[in-house]
């Protein structure tokens, strides 16, 4: 499981570089992955999360915006916004990972890279999204 956490953290770092540094996704991937000696599974999962989140950033941001009370996505701290994007992408596209695991991982990563207030905020937004995704699934 630690390797999946490492992949999620790497995806967060790449997403942050892409957004804050305004770098092309291919450049971020190349510059990040070529400097690290990663387990192929870690690299593949990190790449999947990063590429997927970049490809769907507008959809992810709309969803996050609908579920975050009194917060516009553009006004959120960049780390928090990107933790939410990665977790939401995983919730939407990786059904093999239980939602509770995705949310817990996002919170643990937020504890490392953000603040305790952010952890509470991220938990609230992701739990709200999880509930709406559960309600939207056909029985």
Residue, of 119 and 134, whose pLDDT is higher: 119
pLDDT of residue 1: 44
Q: What is the pTM of this model?
A: 0.91
What angle is formed at CA 24 by the lines to CA 23 and CA 28, rounded to 5 degrees? 75
> How many residues are given for the chain?
139
Confidence of residue 136 (pLDDT cuts 50, 70, 90): low
Average pLDDT over residues 109-123: 91
What is the tens place of the pLDDT at every residue in 56-93?
999 999 999 998 878 888 898 999 999 999 999 999 99
Give the N- to C-terminal CA distance of the chain in Å, as an integer. 29
Enter the DSSP assignment of 75: G
Distances in Å between the alpha carbon of 20 and those of 74, 79, 112, 125? 12, 10, 19, 22
What is the tens place of the pLDDT at every residue in 1-54?
468 999 999 999 999 999 988 889 998 988 888 877 888 898 899 999 999 999
Instruction: Determine the structural domain holding residue 61 and report its residue range.
Output: 2-136
pLDDT of 139 higher than 70: no
Kindly report the CATH number assigned to the domain that includes residue 111.
1.10.940.10
Q: What is the count of structural domains for the chain?
A: 1
């Amino acid at each position: 499981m630690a390797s999946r956490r490492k992949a999620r953290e790497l995806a967060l770092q790449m997403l942050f570089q892409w957004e804050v540094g305004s770098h092309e996704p291919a450049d971020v991937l190349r510059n990040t992955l070529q400097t690290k000696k990663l387990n192929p599974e870690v690299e593949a999962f990190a790449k999947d999360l990063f590429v997927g989140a970049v490809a769907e950033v507008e959809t992810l941001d709309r969803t996050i915006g609908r579920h975050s009370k009194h917060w516009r996505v553009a006004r959120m701290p960049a780390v928090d916004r990107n933790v939410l994007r990665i977790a939401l992408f995983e919730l939407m596209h990786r059904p093999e990972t239980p939602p509770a695991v995705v949310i817990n991982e996002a919170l643990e990563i937020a504890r490392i890279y953000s603040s305790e207030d952010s952890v509470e905020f991220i938990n609230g937004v992701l739990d709200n999204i999880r509930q709406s995704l559960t309600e939207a699934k056909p029985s």
